[in-house]
Amino acid sequence: MKPPNSFWASFGFAGRGVWHSMRYQRNLRVHVSIALIAVTLGWLIGLSSLEWALVVLTMASVLTLELVNTGIEALVDLVSPGQHHLAAVAKDAAAGAVLVAAAASVVVGLLVYGPQLGHFGQRFMIRWQESPAVIVAWGVVLALCYVVIWGVVPARKRREGGQNRIGGTP
């Protein structure tokens, strides 16, 4: 029998953290939804390998920081159940890190997708002529992802903590 802190168990713990965040953090669901749109649009317009690398790294940075923000907020709520200015600073700084990454992702998106959006209709029609079934299947998969992200995954958020914000309660 493997010890509970094995290498493989750490993947399970990490997955549990992502799953919990998807269920309880609306902003993570928003970021995942935008990432799905970015992937779909990238596939439709045919991004180059370098463009895909930029998009994937940008998406990963935003999602990673959102997960870190969730962890910091949970930890602050645990150790500081009452209101404290420094707790608010920690939570707001973590949220600020996500905001900076999200703003940078908009700039990357404009640089990568912007020049190609003028030809979107033409590229979409080429994809459609090549294989309409793939486009329909992609649309169905995308729709199912949104049903899971917004309809099945979310749980009612219990209001635990959350009071440590600069300027009062959220």
pLDDT tens string 75-90: 999 998 888 899 999 9
Specify if 17 maps to a domain: no
Q: Over the chain, what is the mean pLDDT?
A: 85
Residue 65 lies inside a defined structural domain of this protein:
yes
Residue 169: per-residue pLDDT: 47
Asked if residue 163 is part of any domain, the answer here is: no
Q: Are 164 and 87 in contact (CB under 8 A)?
A: yes
Block residue for tokens 């890190």: 97
CATH code, domain carrying 136? 1.10.287.3610
Whole-angstrom CA distances from 127 to 11, 55, 116, 134 are 37, 21, 15, 9
Q: What is the pTM of this model?
A: 0.78
Q: Count of domains in the chain? A: 1
Q: Which residues of 125-157 are buried (b: 16+ CB within 10 A; e: fewer)?
A: eebeeeeeeebeebeeeeeeeeeebeeeeeeee
User: Is 143 part of a structural domain of the chain?
Assistant: yes
Q: Is residue 36 in some structural domain?
A: yes
Say yes or no to pLDDT of 13 above 50: yes
**Residue 97 included in any domain:** yes
Q: What pLDDT, in 10s, does the model give residues 125-140?
A: 887 888 888 888 888 8
Q: Is 66 a catalytic residue?
A: yes
The catalytic position among 66, 73, 130, 160 is 66
Residue 137 resides in a domain: yes
Tell me 161's DSSP state. S
Which range of residues forms the domain containing residue 46?
A: 24-152
Would 19 be classed as within a structural domain?
no
Distances in whole angstroms, Cα of residue 81 to Cα of each of 75, 109, 170: 10, 39, 15
